[in-house]
Amino acid sequence: MENTFEKILKDGERKGYFRVLNDGAKIEYLPSGHKENLNDPEEKVRAEYYFDLLEKYHYSVKRIELETEMPDRTPERYADIVIFEDDAKKKPYIVVECKKDGISDAEFEQATKQAIANARVLHAPLAICVAGNTRRAMETAEWNDKEPEKATITDIPISYGKIEEFRYKKGDTDWDLKVLDKSELKRALEKSHNTLWAGGKRNPTVAFDELCKINFVKIRDEKRGRPHAQKISGQISG
């Protein structure tokens, strides 16, 4: 059975977003011609998110740049993806930091700080860290290392639009919930388990308390009144 990533590669090639070379070993992003090793787990995440930026978020390929060099940085540092507000690529809008799926919470927190650091250097108002299905979008100006949640938003805007209160929308082709294949579901459950237990550092009573908090928030959210067709219950707004 074809998995989600394989489908994205096929659809991306068919639509001219990239080319897969050397029997799947390399990817060439189009139209820039930038090539990377597709066997790298981080590159798989970037390829999938590049596809999403074009398909789901409707950003122009002319305004997306890969491996944007950070000015005045020694040693040299690069942002994985930068979305610009203009065709000339003079006004950075969103900085994207990609990490492999399944990284630890501590690694993800460090990656979000890297995304914000790059966004500050480039004067981009928004940043997002992507590690497979684990994502955090942020407003650069609101970031505070001690209270990162204050800068967190539900997701980056679609095509320079407003920041939505919720990410998922029932009945929407792009934004309704999707069926996961077994491998993706397994990774998601393992990630949830590791987060709940803090990588094995929490004792059972504390872990149980954390699970109760999640259940309480979900029940409370489901009891909120909202048009059924517009939102999907169980989401946390930004």
Half-sphere exposure of 146 (CA within 13 A, CB side): 0
Strands laid side by side in the 126-131 sheet:
64-69, 78-84, 92-98, 126-131, 134-139, 152-153
Same domain, 61 and 147: yes
Same domain, 203 and 136: no
Under the banding of pLDDT at 50, 70 and 90, the label for residue 228 is low
**CA 173 – CA 218 distance, rounded (Å):** 24
Tokens encoding 22: 């050397």
Same domain, 118 and 81: yes
Same domain, 46 and 129: yes
Same domain, 60 and 126: yes
Question: Comparing 164 with 178, which gets the higher pLDDT?
Answer: 164
Same domain, 116 and 186: no
Same domain, 78 and 142: yes
Same domain, 133 and 183: no
Contact (Cβ atoms closer than 8 angstroms) between residue 173 and residue 184: no
Q: Is residue 8 part of a domain?
A: no
User: What Cα–Cα distance (Å) separates residue 212 from each residue in 163, 191, 207?
Assistant: 30, 18, 9
Question: What pLDDT is recorded for position 206?
Answer: 77
Domain's final residue, options 85, 120, 153: 153
Same domain, 126 and 174: no
Domain's final residue, options 94, 126, 153: 153
Contact (Cβ atoms closer than 8 angstroms) between residue 17 and residue 26: no
**CA 172 – CA 233 distance, rounded (Å):** 15
Q: Is residue 18 part of a domain?
A: no
Domain's final residue, options 153, 178, 194: 153
Largest CA distance in the chain: 55
65 beta partners:
82
Give pLDDT tens digits for 29-73.
999 999 999 999 999 999 999 999 999 999 999 999 999 999 877
Q: Phi/psi at 82 (nearest 5 deg)?
A: -130, 130
Question: What pLDDT is recorded for position 213?
Answer: 79
From the list 11, 37, 33, 12, the residue with the least C-alpha distance to 23 is 37
Instruction: Give me the mean pLDDT over the 88-92 stretch.
Output: 97
Quick count: other Cβ atoms within 10 Å of Cβ 129?
24
83 beta partners:
64, 94
Contact (Cβ atoms closer than 8 angstroms) between residue 134 and residue 108: yes
Instruction: Give me the mean pLDDT over the 130-143 stretch.
Output: 94
Q: Is residue 218 part of a domain?
A: yes
Q: Is residue 111 part of a domain?
A: yes
Question: What pLDDT is recorded for position 215?
Answer: 77
Same domain, 109 and 134: yes
Q: Is residue 68 part of a domain?
A: yes
Domain that holds residue 76: 39-153
Q: Is residue 17 part of a domain?
A: no
> Is residue 231 pLDDT above 60, yes or no?
no
Instruction: Give me the mean pLDDT over the 70-94 stretch.
Output: 92
**CATH number of the domain where residue 112 is located:** 3.90.320.10
**CA 181 – CA 41 distance, rounded (Å):** 18
Same domain, 50 and 149: yes
Q: Is residue 163 part of a domain?
A: no
> Is residue 232 pLDDT above 60, yes or no?
no
Q: Which of 24-33, 136-145, 180-189 has the lowest mean pLDDT?
A: 180-189
Total count of domains within the chain: 2
**CA 103 – CA 96 distance, rounded (Å):** 16
Same domain, 138 and 50: yes
Q: Is residue 27 part of a domain?
A: no
